[in-house]
Amino acid sequence: MRANKILIIYLAYSFIHLNLLYSNGLELFQYAYNEGWGEPIRISDGKGSAECPSIFKYNNDIHLVWQDNRTGKYQIYYKKGKDSGEEWSISKNISKSIEDAIHPSIAVFKNYINIVWEDYTSKNPQIYLKHSDNYGVNWQATQKITKSEDNEMFPAIIMNGKYAGIVWVNDSKVNYHICFKKSEDYGKKWYLKSFLTDGEYDNFYPQILFDNEFKIYWKGETDNGERLYFIESLGKGTSWIPKIEITKENILSAPKAKIYKDKIYITWIGKKYNRLYLFLLAGDKLKRFRLNLNADDFEFEKFYNMSDVLVNEDGIHLFWCDGQNGKTDIYYSFYNNKKKIWTKPFNLTKNNNSLFPVVSGDDNTILLFYQKREKDFFQIYYKRKITQREIEYSVKLGDSLIKLCEKFYNSSDYYLALALYNNLTHLEMDNFSRIYKSIKIPPTNVLEKLKQTQKYKALKANYYHIKNWLTEGYLLSLGLVYKEVKFILDKELYTFYDINKGETWWSISQKIYGTPKYYKKIAYFNGKSIDEPIKERTRIVILRLKK
């Protein structure tokens, strides 16, 4: 009986101990991926309301469009951000419409940029397009993609190689249908309009991808509610396979879809068991997150874009709107491919006024754009996260190691470690932006380990000596060992001393530095133990200190 009690106590203790270890590890994992986001930066620069951002990342540049009513009418504005949003161009009015221009979408390939939007210049809203073939330096005359008596709305565009495709909603005064046009010359000329849906049911919010063929997703009505539908082209948009109903769950928001390594990821907000959920379809696996949002308190027709997804080498990055009483923030959760777990949802905006998340990025950078309400208007903001892997950074005139550390690590404390990682000399450090064209930016943990090495400590001593920043005791406090740094340490920083008969580490410290407090440091620097007897006439190395 006593043995059984002991066994029960032991098992209970083991369970609690393992649970604590797991929870602590999970908390560190949550922190590593939920933290590290930069401060929110306002990117829209007008005095009106800026809404409905759309982005496209090509190579290391971010292309952003949004609708903005700074002139009284909504117009489509464009900005380009270099180095994953580090440096932005001046915003440019692309539409220059005499009436409202709304709901923009953008696609980029090489030097070709195509921007589409819903324009109210005609009697009924039509789909317009702006094309550039020199990466936005010049723009061709606005094209009218649709010329009908119907309402043509909610366009989305994709481009890959010479193939480009546009999908949108056609209101035939009876039902809403999904329409499509394609181009085979980077968006210069467009084929005739095709209807992808028919019948008595309405269809909304199409999204388009291209992976050898065009793939289109949308929200469609049925007798049993609103569902997620899919259709794929044959012959690069020449014909189409029959549409497929992907899920039985009710869908409220616009679906957002991405392709990563031939696998498709789709996210949307929908209803199940009279509750709102965020859904993610990754291949054939469905994941859902319960939300606090109340469908009756929120205008899904107006704020239709409620979630987005990014997939990279690390895993799945999921973003969505959630909140209470109509007030929303942007939340984030990450699925780690190695650990096979999701982080807890994390509030990225914390202002009760953020909507319309759109996200892009790669294995090194994640960029979230969203619209934030400020008084009576919205403005476009973005947040950026640099992921923890080495990147190659193109150095610009005026850059310094300190500035780069503040940019990539949110701290200037790593500038000497960054110099050591890139094998920079003192001269190169002081003339950094004039000498170097690129520099390697490693993860933080790599620099942290580097800071513990003797080589780093010697570099720090040398650099502080040259800069005349040394104070009494500073060099000794670094914990250097002479044999390990003698080929690195500047000779002006040390001298030699021959031990006299009867001297101790204590008396040597008193004699050299005027205080006995450095006796352990002197022994350590010379690779000696304070317990070892000191031999007469032994030559040791003494650090010269500035006062």
φ, ψ of residue 185 to 5 degrees: the values are -135, 45
Beta carbons of 466 and 489 less than 8 angstroms apart: no
C-alpha 6/C-alpha 22 separation (Å) is: 24
Cβ pair 210, 159 in contact under 8 A: yes
Which DSSP state fits 295? G
Give domain limits for the chain: 1-35, 52-246, 259-364, 392-543
In whole angstroms, what is the distance from residue 440 CA to residue 107 CA?
30
Q: Please report the pLDDT score of residue 109 as a whole number.
A: 96
Q: Which pLDDT tens digit goes with each residue over 334-365? A: 999 888 999 999 999 998 889 999 999 988 78
Question: What pLDDT does 210 receive?
Answer: 96
β-pairing, 203-211 with 213-222? antiparallel
- The reported pLDDT for the residue numbered 214 is 97
Whether residue 236 has pLDDT greater than 70: yes
**Alpha-carbon distance 75 to 142, whole Å?**
13
What is the C-alpha to C-alpha distance for residues 143 and 141, in angstroms, rounded to an integer?
6
| Gyration radius from the chain CA atoms | 31
**What is the pLDDT confidence band of residue 433, given thresholds at 50, 70 and 90?**
low
DSSP per residue, 48-116 = S-EEEEEEEEETTEEEEEEEE-TTSS-EEEEEEEETTTTEEPPPEES---SS-EEEEEEEEETTEEEEE
pLDDT tens figures, 256-304: 999 999 999 999 999 888 889 999 999 889 999 999 888 776 676 667 8
Query: Beta strand 250-251 with 239-240: parallel, antiparallel or unpaired?
Result: unpaired
The length of the chain is 547
Lowest mean pLDDT among 3-12, 228-237, 400-409, 428-437: 3-12
β strands within 186-283, DSSP E:
194-195, 203-211, 213-222, 225-234, 239-240, 244-245, 250-251, 256-260, 263-272, 275-282
Report the share of the chain in percent with pLDDT over 70: 84
Quote the tokens at residue 198: 């028919």
Task: Tell me the one-letter amino acid at 156.
Answer: A
What pLDDT sits at residue 38? 85
Position 275 scores a pLDDT of 87
| pLDDT band for position 8 (cuts 50, 70, 90) | very low
Tell me the range of 78-87, 249-258, 321-330, 447-456 where mean pLDDT is highest: 249-258
Q: What is the pTM of this model?
A: 0.72
- pLDDT, position 482: 62
Structure-model confidence comparison of residues 427 and 161, the more confident one: 161
The pLDDT of residue 19 is: 43
Q: How many Å separate Cα 531 from the centre of its chain?
A: 55
- Select, from the ranges 199-213, 474-488, 530-544, the one with the highest average predicted confidence (pLDDT): 199-213
Q: What is the mean pLDDT of residues 37-59?
A: 93
315: left (phi over 0), alpha (psi -120 to 50) or beta: left
40/60 Cα distance (integer angstroms): 20
Query: Is domain 52-246 classified as CATH 2.120.10.30?
Result: yes
What mean pLDDT, rounded, does the chain reach?
85
Q: Provide the pLDDT for residue 116.
A: 98
* Proportion of the chain above pLDDT 90, given as a percent: 51
User: pLDDT tens for residues 375-422?
Assistant: 889 999 999 987 767 888 888 887 888 888 888 887 778 888 898 898
**pLDDT band with cut points at 50, 70 and 90 for residue 56:** very high
Q: Report the chain's terminal Cα–Cα distance, integer Å.
A: 73
* C-alpha span between 321 and 291 (Å, rounded): 9
Q: Is 546 helix (H, G, I), strand (E, B) or coil?
A: coil
Secondary structure element (H or E) that encloses residue 434, with its range: helix 432-435
CA 372-378-380 angle, to 5 degrees, is 60
For residue 4, what pLDDT band results from cuts at 50, 70 and 90?
Answer: low
Taking a C-beta distance cutoff of 8 angstroms, is the pair 440, 422 a contact? yes
Say which amino acid occupies 531.
Answer: D
* pLDDT above 70 for 511: yes
